[in-house]
Structure 1
Amino acid sequence: MFRSLWQYRHFIISSIRGDLKGRFVRSRLGGLWFILHPLAQALIFSIVLSEVLKARLPDTDAPAAYPIYLLSGMAAWTLFSEILTRSMTIFIEQAPVMKKIVFPRLCLPIIVGGTALINHLLLLLALFILFIFLGHLPGRALILLPLGIVLIAAIGFGLGVILGVMNVFIRDIAQVMTIVLQLWYWLTPIVYPANVLPERYSFVLYLNPIAPLVALYQDALLFNRWPNPESLIMPVALGVVSMGLAMLLFRRASPELVDVL
């Protein structure tokens, strides 16, 4: 399976390039929309919460701390949600192609993941430029950001392939996950700091594997502090297990995917 993916590496690269170009055909701003959408959403949250509701972070008095905190968390979440949601529906969306062309079907979620990673890198570049204008420069903890990117991509890809295969056979999966992701977003400390949660709900953070990765982004980009290694045990375990299960499930279900579609 991995040998065939390597043989089709040029197909994967060209498909990623075509996907990036095809999203905004005849758009004058083109790829800038990859950056403008999350920035606009974060800007709205920042204005409403920091200016209107006077929300402040308890760990710092910097005037731009809350927008940076919010942008950092949303960058991590955007990468995860994009890989997961697109992987869930990619087999159904590309059903006509799968019926006409012979190629490793696993190329499709890999193309999704590659596209999401490029979008994410462009977004991070835009954030760094914005942070400079805000007078904030990330510190040495920034070197841990690639670890967060790898873990988020692994979890999103693993869960996305598993749910994507299941969605081919049970179309309700994508509808249910749309609701689950909305709830998951608000149970992750992105808009609010983790220490404002009441103690009776603190267990939610321990059960949420994305929360430590969002915190890693916020620590690296805002607070310049190193994460607690123990907090990364669950994300690492989930990333490895979900990737393994995804490969196993996909290999067993692959012969039937085209017939069901």
Structure 2
Amino acid sequence: MIQRIKEILKYKELLQNLTVKELKLKYKNSVLGFFWSFLNPLMMMLVYTFAFKYVLRVTTENFAVVLLAGLLPWTFFQNSINSATTSIVSNGNLVKKVYFPREIIPLSMIFSNFINFLITFIVLFLAIMVFKIKIGAAIILLPIVLILLLGITIGLSLILSSLNVIYRDVSHFVEIIFMAWFYLTPIVYSLDLIPAQFRGIILLNPLALVVESVRSTVLYNTVPSIHFFAGMTAYAVILMFIGSKVFRSIEKSFAETI
């Protein structure tokens, strides 16, 4: 895996160009352009806030901000996995023409979404200012949480993007799984609302660890549990290792299968 990373670094200019290309294509011919990066999370926040705060009567304090802090990392994760899963198949012509580390294709999708994700954090910090929530020293741990989220996303994307070349059902399966995964992650509700006997099961979900850690560092000025960091690190390392192995084993048949 380390050798593969070194090889990818040799092609960093290609990775950079493809990432920029994805960012440009996302808002091509769009009047508002990058402003959609701000409008999308705002609109989702308003819809979910109305549904859960005023219809279902969720009593969580500062619900809109708590929701947004969970919604942003989830949206990055979902968009990255969805786009990366089909990336090899949709770039079949490029795969057949010239040699380069094929991981660059899903990585470019992930990094373009990650840049967009970082931009959307402006919306979160503006909401924090509006609700007069104090930001404390714990926020210095936020970059670590985001890097671990990035690692988890990369590992899972490598697995799914390579498997999707052989089994095209994978992309459809991912869409269905995400519908359930969303509600199994404490995004529209807080972890405290889950009965104690089920809380341990929910925390087996890597995105639950990420969401709760983001909220701890940004909103509550508390250091996430060492168990949360250990869990996120384990998920990131294991998924990246497995992802690298699976991707390399299937990569040889990309050109023929596509």
Which bracket does the TM-score occupy, shorter chain normalised?
over 0.9
Query: After superposition, where does 1:112-261 map in structure 2 within 5 Å?
Result: 112-261=109-258
Which residue is equivalent to 2:58?
A: 55
Equivalent residue in structure 1 for 2:69, among 68, 72, 81? 72
Which residue is equivalent to 2:89?
A: 92
Identity, in percent, stands at 27
- How far is 1:98 from its partner? 1.3
Which residue is equivalent to 1:5?
A: 8
Asked whether 1:36 is paired with 2:39, we answer: yes
- Residues 83, 113 of structure 1: 8 Å contact kept: yes
Pair 3,229 (structure 1): closer, same or farther in 2 beyond 3 Å: closer
Pair 252,77 (structure 1): closer, same or farther in 2 beyond 3 Å: same
Tell me the distance in 1 between the aligned counterparts of 2:193 and 2:124. Answer: 26
Structure 2 counterpart of 1:71, one-letter code: L
Tell me the distance in 2 between the aligned counterparts of 1:142 and 1:231. Answer: 16
Structure 2 counterpart of 1:47, one-letter code: F
Query: Which stretches in structure 2 are left out of the alignment for 5+ residues?
Result: none
- How far is 1:233 from its partner? 2.0
Tell me the distance in 2 between the aligned counterparts of 1:92 and 1:35. Answer: 30
Structure 1 counterpart of 2:43, one-letter code: A
- Residues 88, 161 of structure 2: 8 Å contact kept: yes
Please give the TM-score of this superposition, normalised by the length of structure 1.
0.91
Which 4+ runs in 1 deviate beyond 4 A?
none
Compare 200-209 and 188-197 and name the one that shifted more.
Answer: 200-209
Tell me the distance in 1 between the aligned counterparts of 2:239 and 2:54. Answer: 40
Equivalent residue in structure 2 for 1:83, among 80, 100, 106? 80
Please give the TM-score of this superposition, normalised by the length of structure 2.
0.92
Query: Which stretches in structure 1 are left out of the alignment for 5+ residues?
Result: none
Asked whether 1:20 is paired with 2:23, we answer: yes
- Residues 158, 247 of structure 2: 8 Å contact kept: yes
- Corresponding residue SS for 2:252: helix
Structure 2 counterpart of 1:106, one-letter code: E
Write out per-residue CA displacement over residues 6-47 of structure 1, whole angstroms, 9 at most, x where no aligned residue: 222111112111111111112111011122112211111112
Structure 1 counterpart of 2:157, one-letter code: G
Structure 2 counterpart of 1:186, one-letter code: Y
Structure 1 counterpart of 2:214, one-letter code: Y
Structure 1 counterpart of 2:59, one-letter code: R
- Corresponding residue SS for 2:222: coil
Tell me the distance in 2 between the aligned counterparts of 1:7 and 1:208. Answer: 34
- Residues 20, 31 of structure 1: 8 Å contact kept: no
Tell me the distance in 2 between the aligned counterparts of 1:173 and 1:19. Answer: 22
- Residues 82, 116 of structure 1: 8 Å contact kept: yes
Structure 1 counterpart of 2:184, one-letter code: L
| Aligned length, in residue pairs | 255
Compare 242-251 and 130-139 and name the one that shifted more.
Answer: 130-139
- How far is 1:96 from its partner? 1.9
Structure 2 counterpart of 1:24, one-letter code: Y
Pair 110,223 (structure 1): closer, same or farther in 2 beyond 3 Å: same
